[in-house]
Structure 1
Amino acid sequence: MKSSRPVKLQGKRVNLCPLDEKDLHIFHKWITDLEVTKTTVSSSKIFTVVDELQWLKDAKSKTKEGTSFTLAILTKQAQLIGISTLRNTEDVNRKAEFGIVIGEKAYWSKGYGREATTLMLDFAFNVLNLHSVSLGVYSYNMRALRAYQAVGFRKTGLLREAHFWGGTYYDIIQMDILAQEFKNSKIKNFILESQKTV
């Protein structure tokens, strides 16, 4: 099935596209699945459908304004499998925070999140001209930690027992990646190839 949405960032197996209100029922499915939400910042919040609609409107508005960028992750068959975000962008310091959730569990541990992360980093460094992208990952989320390290994120710190889940406190591992450390630039390679033909 071909997507009717405009593609903002195109990868080999995923496309990153604008959010759409018709996806609210899918977001609701993810946000009410404890196995999914325990890996996200929303794990300690309870969302109503009204909250989710407001979140979607805010995310679309901030993306349009350029203050943060939240994009849907779609497979090449146009199936929505997740969301990826660059938030708290700072023009002066040229930095942002990254977040991602693969809500469709059938796509976990298959490289889809890694590819979406790479596309967002390419956008951050080679379109937005950011210098640094950071994130926080819960210490029990080893799958995400390995994926972040695979694309070049490095551990920079630890917020000890900063996340409460299931009756236990967990650490939040702080990570970041600098522009010069990012090696998988599709955009930069495209620009270099284009310059050779001119």
Structure 2
Amino acid sequence: MSCFCNNYLFFPAVSFFTVVLNSGVTHKFFSRMIELAYFTQEDFDLLIQWITDEAVLQNWTGSLFSFPLTHKKLEWYIRDANDIQQSDVFIYKAVDTERGATVGHISLGSISKKNRSARISRVLVGNTAERGRGYCTGMIQALLRIGFKDLQLHRISLGVYTTNTSAIRCYERCGFVTEGISRDVLRYGDEYWSLMEMSILEDEWRQMAQRMAA
């Protein structure tokens, strides 16, 4: 996997660059609103603050974690992530570039070089008061750019619970199409949650990017 320096297509006056660290290479994406940078131990406390109850946790991670979220669980979560040579998952925080504040979290995992595919997961706009400001759209577009442009992927998928209508609208705005519904995949209390499978292909992303740049 390699990274390229380019101007981005989704936002005006944006740029992409890589930062070389002792441990390897890290992505950074800048848009008019959002910067994606690697999620590290320094970000644990804020993420834990955002996960206020079990429902929020299950919406964010499904069955990956049990409530409450802890430093130990997050250390396991990032243990094999963000190594440009070896990892099949990259985990990011999202920063509002105007305020310098971390506003969200997102990851790109299940990266297959053979199939040129990956899966977006763990999408979260942390502060409920800041939802509806375009952060979700900015985060998704930033990650699609990394996936399709820099990692040269062909297909990116995601899953979203059918009750999360605001997230579904965000993904549709970013070009994702619905592939189907996996019914009653998660039990929460006395309820069962169904999962909507969505995806976008590289040609679809490029066509959308060209329309937005025109």
Question: When the two structures are superposed, what TM-score results if normalisation uses the length of structure 2?
Answer: 0.76
Q: Which residue number corresponds to residue 42 of structure 2?
A: 22
Matches within 5 A, 1:1-198: 8-34=28-54, 36-42=56-62, 45-46=66-67, 47-60=69-82, 62=83, 65-76=86-97, 77-99=99-121, 100-182=123-205, 183-185=207-209
Structure 1: which 5+ residue stretches go unaligned? 1-5, 190-198
* C-alpha distance in 2 between matches for 1:143 and 1:117: 13
Structure-1 separation of matches of 2:94 and 2:85? 17
Q: Give the whole-Å Cα distance in 2 for the aligned partners of 1:11 and 1:184.
A: 17
Superimposed CA distance per residue, residues 21-63 of structure 1 (whole angstroms, 9 cap, x where no aligned partner) = 2211111112334463242124662333311222233334x55
CA contact (8 A) 2:81 2:88 kept: no
Q: Which stretches in structure 2 are left out of the alignment for 5+ residues?
A: 1-18, 20-26
Amino acid across the alignment from 2:127: E
Residue of structure 2 equivalent to 1:196: none
Does the aligned pair in 1 maintain the 2:120–2:157 contact within 8 Å? Answer: yes
Amino acid at match of 1:53: E
Look up the equivalent residue of 1:10 and give its one-letter code.
F
In structure 2, C-alpha distance between the alignment counterparts of 1:50 and 1:84, rounded to whole Å? 19
CA contact (8 A) 1:17 1:72 kept: yes
Q: RMSD over aligned Cα, in angstroms?
A: 2.2
Per-residue CA deviations over 1:78-130 (Å, capped at 9, x if unaligned) read 21111111100011111000021112212212111111100100111111110
Which amino acid in the other structure matches residue 51 of structure 1? K
- CA, structure 1 residues 159+63, in 2 after alignment: closer, same or farther (shift >3 Å)? farther
1:195 equivalent in structure 2: none
Which has the larger helix fraction?
1
For the 8 Å contact 2:104–2:125, the answer to whether it is kept is: yes
Q: Could you tell me which amino acid in structure 2 is paired with residue 22 of structure 1?
A: E
CA distance in 1: counterparts of 2:141 and 2:158, whole angstroms: 14
Q: Structure 1-normalised TM-score? A: 0.82
